[in-house]
Homo-oligomer: A and B are copies of this chain.
Amino acid sequence: MGRLITVADSADPRLADYVRLRDVQLRKSLEAEHGLFIAEGEKVIRRAVETGYPVRSLLMAPRWLDPLADLLERVDAPVYVADDAVLEGIVGFPVHRGALASMARRPLPPVPELVADARRVLVLEDLVDHGNVGAIFRCAAALGVDAVVLSPRCADPLYRRSVKVSMGAVFAIPYARMTDWHHGLGELRAAGHRLLALTPDQSAVPIEKAVWGERVALMLGTEGDGLSSRWLKAADEAVCIPMSPGAMARGVDSLNVVAAASIACYGLMRS
Contact = CB atoms under 8 A, between A and B. Distances in A.
Contact of A250 (B141, B208, B258, B266): B141
Contacts of A243: 142-144
A203 interface: no
Contacts of A168: 251-252
Interface in A168-194: 168-169, 171-173
Interface string A219-259: 00000000000000000000001111111001110111011
A250 B143 contact: no
Contacts of A246: 144
A226 to B, nearest CB: 15
Nearest to A51: B251
Interface residues on A, range: 35 or more
B244 A142 contact: yes
Tell me how many chains of this kind the complex includes. 2
Nearest to A146: B246
Nearest to A247: B142
A141 B172 contact: no
A254 B172 contact: no
Contacts of A138: 252, 255-256, 259
10 contacts: A135-B256, A138-B255, A139-B259, A141-B250, A165-B256, A171-B251, A173-B250, A244-B269, A262-B262, A266-B266
A244 B143 contact: yes
B252 A172 contact: yes
B266 A241 contact: yes
Contacts of A171: 251
